[in-house]
Amino acid sequence: MAGFNKVVKTYDEALAGLKDGMSIMVGGFGLCGIPEGLIDQVKDLGCKELTCISNNAGVDGFGLGKLLEKRQIKTMIGSYVGENALFEQLYLSKEMEVILTPQGTLAEKIRAGGAGIPAFYTATGYGTLVAEGKETKEFNGRMYVLEESLTCDYALVKAWKADTMGNLVFRKTAANFNPMIATAGKITIAEVEEIVPAGELDPDDIQTPGIYVQRVIKGEFEKRIEQKTVKA
Amino acid sequence: MGISREQIAQRIAQEIKDGQYINLGIGIPTLVANYVPAGMEVMFQSENGLLGMGEFPTEDEVDADLINAGKQTVTAVTGAAYFSSADSFAMIRGGHVDLTVLGAFEIDEGGSIASWMIPGKLVKGMGGAMDLVAGAQNIIVAMAHANKKGESKILKSCSLPLTGVNCIKKVVTDLAVLEIKNGKIHLLERAPGVSVEEIVKLTEAELIITGDIPEMQF
């Protein structure tokens, strides 16, 4: 690798250095915009005792569901269990620690983490289980909860296009958590559909500047749809 | 007894005003989009990063990169915008969304709502619901008035873990339209053919009933 060329050719290089007990963030909303190949690589590496921060945990047998099946995650931080039967079972049996976090608070914790802000106040969750044990404060007659930000060792994101310098462009609702997660990793790896030469992306169109991204790999995506719904 | 899920959605849609930005939750709230009053233009916000959600796609239009918060494939209307989850919740938390419609397990006299877990039994997770109830000025809850055993879900005090406190002002159930003001629940309308007595019987909370209660109009 020379200069600002962030492109790696293999998944071994993409996740080099990932070890047991580390924290990872994984982009995506449900199965939309998830770094499929990077998740498979975490599964193949077999790393255990991971802390995993992601809005959802995939479905049974796909996406992060694969890491749940292999019991690689010790602590899961996310907002929605939904229809993932194994996730719900691991949570209710306390086999996996689950820290359910309101979706907007989760997004802001990651954004703040990447931006060097250690904590922020939000009205979200005040008076609920989410606020238990947390500092609260009144501003303009309303109560707010102090929420601490999040960063991670490895940030795994999916983008539509990257250039060789790690500048990223997302597509439609496949952006979701990916832009924030890209900013919050000590090492951020972007798995993308297409890599173009530096200079080919219009600087006006770049959503994540390459400064946040350490490695870029071209992936192959199944893009499984959770709820295919068509017009009657 | 009572109205269908579609009729609950239809009644809620009567609250829509022209030019509103609206967030619809999963379930009955999603159906509200089918009943936007004629001649009105609204934009639907989907918290996974879409403002200007359109109808379901045709088979040819299906795009795995374009879904709603219920993970269903959707389309985008003219004037739509895509953005990150952080931007999406800036809109929500910052009070920029005009109307939010969401479901609930329980509602109480204080305007508190429980919608995300039943301890030891069911965990859905709160998703964006806690942020939505904290951020929206105008929230309508769509829910069943009682469960299948006839146990009321309109309570003096919620029994399940809360999603938000003192934030709900309007509720539309299969039996009634309710308004919550100053710690009291007022019965505003009843479902066609349902008597006030039947509603009172299936409501644990005290209902304030003033004058004749009209039937919902469709």
- Report pLDDT for A90: 92
Answer whether residue A67 shows pLDDT above 70.
yes
Calculate mean pLDDT across residues B68-81: 96
- Report pLDDT for B136: 83
Answer whether residue A121 shows pLDDT above 60.
yes
Interface contact B128, partner A, CB < 8 A: yes
Sign of the dihedral through C-alpha B151, B156, B158, B159: negative
Interface contact B74, partner A, CB < 8 A: yes
Interface contact B29, partner A, CB < 8 A: no
How far is residue B3's CA from residue A56's CA, in Å, rounded to a whole number?
34
What is the H or E stretch that residue B78 is in? strand B76-82
Calculate mean pLDDT across residues B122-140: 91
- Report pLDDT for A134: 98
Whether residue B217 is contained in a domain is answered as no
- Report pLDDT for A232: 82
| A50 residue type, one letter | L
Average pLDDT, chain A: 96
- Report pLDDT for B26: 86
Chain B positions touching A100 (Cβ under 8 A) are 116-117, 123, 125-126
- Report pLDDT for A82: 76
| B108 residue type, one letter | D
Interface contact B127, partner A, CB < 8 A: yes
- Report pLDDT for B179: 98
Interface contact B119, partner A, CB < 8 A: no
Contact B164 A107 (CB under 8 A): no
pLDDT range class, residue B40, cuts 50, 70, 90? very high
pLDDT range class, residue B158, cuts 50, 70, 90? very high
**A-B contacts (CB, under 8 Å):** 179
Interstrand relation of A142-148 and A119-122 (parallel, antiparallel or unpaired): antiparallel
B136-to-A61, A130, B22, B93, B164 alpha-carbon distances in Å: 36, 19, 10, 7, 12
Q: What percent of chain A has pLDDT over 90?
A: 92
Calculate mean pLDDT across residues A75-94: 90
- Report pLDDT for B107: 98
Answer whether residue A1 shows pLDDT above 70.
no
pLDDT range class, residue A213, cuts 50, 70, 90? very high
Residue B119 domain boundaries:
5-208
Contact B127 A80 (CB under 8 A): yes
Summarize pLDDT for B4-19 with one digit per residue, the tens: 999 999 999 999 999 9
Tell me the residue length of chain A. Answer: 232
pLDDT range class, residue B41, cuts 50, 70, 90? very high
Q: Considering its fold, how many domains does chain B have in total?
A: 1
Domain ranges of chain A: 11-117+151-217
- Report pLDDT for B155: 98
Contact A29 B46 (CB under 8 A): no
Calculate mean pLDDT across residues A7-29: 98
Answer whether residue A87 shows pLDDT above 70.
yes
Crossing angle of helices A103-114/B85-93, nearest 10°? Answer: 120
Calculate mean pLDDT across residues A86-100: 92
Calculate mean pLDDT across residues B34-50: 96
- Report pLDDT for B121: 81
Mutation choice for B interface testing from A173, A178, A193 by most B CBs within 10 A? A173
Contact partners, residue B176, CB within 8 Å, separation at least 6: B145, B187, B188, B189, B190, B191, B194, B199, B203
Mutation choice for A interface testing from B26, B60, B65 by most A CBs within 10 A? B65
Summarize pLDDT for B202-217 with one digit per residue, the tens: 999 999 999 999 999 9
Q: What percent of chain A has pLDDT over 70?
A: 99
- Report pLDDT for B39: 95
Summarize pLDDT for A145-170 with one digit per residue, the tens: 999 999 999 999 999 999 999 999 99
Q: Write the DSSP string, A90-130.
A: HHHTTSSEEEE--HHHHHHHHHHHHTT--EEEESTTTTSGG
Residue B176's nearest CA partner among B156, B133, B150, B146 is B146
- Report pLDDT for B123: 81
Residues of B with a known catalytic role: 47
Tell me the residue length of chain B. Answer: 218
Whether residue B216 is contained in a domain is answered as no
b/e code A128-157 from CB counts within 10 Å (16+ = b)? bebbeeeeeeeeeeeebbebebbbbbbbbb
Q: Phi/psi of residue A109, each to 5°? A: -60, -40
Whether residue B213 is contained in a domain is answered as no
B46-to-B27, B31, B94 alpha-carbon distances in Å: 14, 14, 15
Overall pTM > 0.80: yes
Query: % helix / strand / coil in chain B, to the nearest 5?
Result: 20, 30, 50
Average pLDDT, chain B: 95
Instruction: List the CATH number of the domain containing B158.
Output: 3.40.1080.10
Summarize pLDDT for B166-197 with one digit per residue, the tens: 999 999 999 999 999 999 999 999 999 999 99
- Report pLDDT for A84: 85
Whether residue B107 is contained in a domain is answered as yes
Q: What is the CATH superfamily name and number for domain A11-117+151-217?
A: Glutaconate Coenzyme A-transferase (3.40.1080.10)
